[in-house]
Amino acid sequence: DDNQDRIPFLQQTKAMGHAVRANYLYAGVADLYAETGKDSLLKTLNLMWDDVNEHKMYITGGCGSLYDGTSPDGTSYNPADVQKIHQAFGRDYQLPNFTAHNETCANIGNVLWNWRMLQITGDAKYADVMELALHNSVLSGISLNGKNFLYTNPLAQSDDLPFKQRWSKDRVPYIGLSNCCPPNVVRTIAEVSDYAYSVSDKGLWFNLYGGNNLTTKLADGSKVSLAQTTNYPWDGNIKIAIKESGNKPYSVFLRIPAWTQNAQITVNGKAENIEAISGTYAEINRVWKKGDVIELNLPIEATLIEANPLVEENRNQIAVKRGPIVYCLESTDLPGKNIFNAFIPTSTKFTAQPIKIDGAEMMSLVGNAKIVEPKNWKNVLYRPVNNNSKDAEIKLVPYFAWGNRGHSEMSVWLPVSK
Nearest CA-CA partner of 319 in 27, 16, 60? 60
255 and 323 Cβ atoms separated by less than 8 Å: no
Judgement on whether residues 78 and 183 belong to the same structural domain of the protein: yes
Instruction: Kindly tell me the number of DSSP H helices and DSSP E strands found in the chain.
Output: 5, 22
Where among 138, 167, 193 does a domain terminate? 193
What is the pLDDT, as a whole number, of residue 175? 82
For residue 1, is it within any domain? no
Judgement on whether residues 44 and 98 belong to the same structural domain of the protein: yes
The CATH code of the domain that includes 284 is: 2.60.40
For residue 121, is it within any domain? yes
The pLDDT profile of the chain, 418 residues, written as one tens digit per residue, is 566 777 889 999 999 888 999 999 999 999 999 999 999 999 999 999 999 999 999 999 999 999 887 766 655 666 566 666 778 899 999 999 999 999 999 999 999 999 999 999 999 999 999 999 999 999 999 999 999 999 899 999 999 888 877 777 888 988 877 788 889 999 999 999 999 999 999 999 999 999 999 999 999 999 999 999 999 999 999 999 999 999 999 999 999 999 999 999 999 999 988 889 999 999 999 999 999 999 999 999 999 999 999 999 999 999 999 999 999 999 999 998 999 999 999 999 999 999 999 999 999 999 999 999 877 888 899 999 888 889 999 999 999 999 999 999 999 999 998 7
Counted domains in the chain = 3
For residue 230, is it within any domain? yes
Judgement on whether residues 70 and 209 belong to the same structural domain of the protein: no
> What is the Cα 176 distance to its own chain's centre?
26
For the question of whether the overall pTM of this predicted structure is more than 0.85, the answer is: yes
Judgement on whether residues 362 and 288 belong to the same structural domain of the protein: no
Judgement on whether residues 130 and 176 belong to the same structural domain of the protein: yes
Q: Which residues contact 161 (CB under 8 A, 6 or more apart)?
A: 98
For residue 267, is it within any domain? yes
For residue 223, is it within any domain? yes
Judgement on whether residues 94 and 238 belong to the same structural domain of the protein: no
Where among 297, 313, 345 does a domain terminate? 297
For residue 15, is it within any domain? yes
Judgement on whether residues 315 and 222 belong to the same structural domain of the protein: no
For residue 263, is it within any domain? yes
Judgement on whether residues 64 and 177 belong to the same structural domain of the protein: yes
For residue 2, is it within any domain? no
290 and 242 Cβ atoms separated by less than 8 Å: yes
Judgement on whether residues 53 and 160 belong to the same structural domain of the protein: yes
Q: Which residues contact 52 (CB under 8 A, 6 or more apart)?
A: 15, 63, 89, 110
Is omega for the bond preceding 335 within 30 degrees of 0, making it cis?
no
110 and 27 Cβ atoms separated by less than 8 Å: no
Judgement on whether residues 292 and 313 belong to the same structural domain of the protein: no
Judgement on whether residues 28 and 158 belong to the same structural domain of the protein: yes
What is the pLDDT, as a whole number, of residue 77? 61
Where among 297, 329, 352 does a domain terminate? 297
**Structural domain boundaries, residue 331:** 302-417
What is the pLDDT, as a whole number, of residue 162? 84
Dist CA 149 CA 168 (whole Å) = 10
Judgement on whether residues 236 and 159 belong to the same structural domain of the protein: no
Exposed e or buried b per residue across 305-327, where buried means at least 16 C-beta atoms within 10 angstroms of its C-beta = bebeeebebbeebbbbbbbbbbb
What is the pLDDT, as a whole number, of residue 376? 83
36 and 66 Cβ atoms separated by less than 8 Å: no
Nearest CA-CA partner of 64 in 111, 127, 110, 132? 110
